[in-house]
């Protein structure tokens, strides 16, 4: 009989779908990752695994999981999985594209506006009893309307983010590993070099996946090229940013502020200097966190597992790259 491992607690309706074709073993906590030792033990005889970004699925895992046929990763990104090695072991890897695009773009846009208008600072200001009077420049922020917005990574989420700029009379720049003529026509977006994007943008939005080319892309040199009143937003992957360089840029006022939904280490260490800066807003990786979207992500994982175990083509397979 198939053994299906689920590494986080998910609602029972999804579990019941999988129980039709196998024995489901599910980690019983929603907010605490499955310990590495327990994960290694349970996946040894598993036929399928519904994983999250918290699980590092490397050769140590794959060589032990001799029965494994499919890994359904509950995310668009899959940098937590050695996809090429999985392919060598004959294991199908799937992800959850498209279903979370709009929700993630919406969160990114919310984060941009929140940082630009200093919403967290303003709410804290009131809650701490500091609000004594109105002032001409009290907690004055930065306008999105009429600004130049640079998008690093014009994939589905980047395009969805750009769509949301239409009512803000912005100039849209983008940099991507390849040009997108559809985005240029439909969104009136202009392709520029990475350096041009940094130098000309009032807001720099990172929606890119983590690859060898994007890792540490936003380093000290990158932040030095940005405007002193620029705002940096990251909803891509944490490792795209050199966080020490970002902290230094914020402290030196090389850039105005930042908003981050993703970090190199998640959850963030409570002693991290980013948490001490009033011009940094840090969120707990909630880009796709609406009830409807999370349901759709889990359902797509379930559908991919059912397809593979029933000898059908997976719906959203990740292709390995030579």
Catalytic residue numbers?
237, 266, 285
- Alpha-carbon span 72 to 8, nearest angstrom: 13
Q: Would you call 216 exposed, middle or buried from its count of C-beta atoms within 10 A (0-12, 13-18, 19+)?
A: middle
Which backbone phi and psi does 151 adopt, to 5 degrees? -110, 120
In angstroms, rounded to a whole number, what is the distance separating the alpha carbons of residues 288 and 74? 11
Among candidate residues 213, 218, 223, 154, the one with its CA nearest the CA of residue 184: 154
> How many Cα atoms are found within 13 Å in the side-chain-facing hemisphere of 266?
21
**Residues facing residue 156 across a β-bridge:** none
DSSP string across 9-76 = ---HHHHHHHHTTEEEEE-S-SSSPPPHHHHHHHHTT-SEEEE-TT--B-HHHHHH-TT--EEEESSS
The DSSP code for 69 is -
């Amino acid at each position: 009989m198939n053994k299906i491992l689920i590494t986080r607690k998910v609602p029972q309706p999804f579990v019941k779908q999988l129980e039709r074709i196998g024995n489901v073993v599910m980690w019983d906590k929603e907010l605490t990752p499955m310990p590495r030792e327990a994960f290694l033990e349970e996946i040894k005889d598993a036929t399928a695994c519904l994983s999250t970004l918290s699980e590092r699925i490397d050769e140590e895992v794959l060589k032990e999981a001799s029965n494994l046929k499919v890994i359904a990763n509950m995310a668009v990104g899959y940098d937590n999985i050695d996809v090429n090695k999985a392919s060598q072991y004959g294991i199908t890897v799937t992800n959850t594209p498209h279903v979370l695009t709009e929700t993630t773009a919406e969160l990114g846009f919310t984060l941009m506006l929140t940082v630009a208008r200093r919403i967290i600072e303003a709410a804290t200001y009131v809650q701490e009893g500091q609000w004594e009077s109105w002032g001409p420049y009290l907690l004055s922020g930065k306008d999105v309307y009429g600004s130049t917005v640079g998008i690093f990574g014009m994939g589905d989420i980047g395009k969805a983010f750009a769509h949301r700029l239409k009512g803000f009379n912005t100039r849209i720049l983008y940099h991507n590993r390849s040009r997108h003529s559809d985005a240029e026509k439909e969104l009136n977006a202009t392709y520029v070099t990475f350096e041009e994007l940094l130098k000309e943008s009032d807001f720099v939005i990172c929606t890119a996946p983590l690859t060898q080319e994007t890792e540490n892309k936003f380093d000290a040199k990158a932040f030095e090229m940005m405007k002193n009143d620029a705002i940096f937003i990251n909803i891509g992957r944490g490792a795209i940013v050199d966080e020490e360089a970002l902290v230094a840029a914020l402290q030196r006022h090389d850039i105005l502020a930042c908003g981050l939904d993703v970090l190199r280490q998640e959850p963030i260490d409570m002693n991290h200097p980013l948490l001490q800066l009033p011009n940094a807003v840090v969120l707990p990786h909630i880009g796709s966190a609406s009830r409807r979207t999370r349901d759709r992500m889990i359902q797509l994982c379930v559908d991919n597992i059912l397809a593979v175990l029933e000898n059908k083509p997976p719906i959203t397979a990740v292709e390995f790259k030579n």
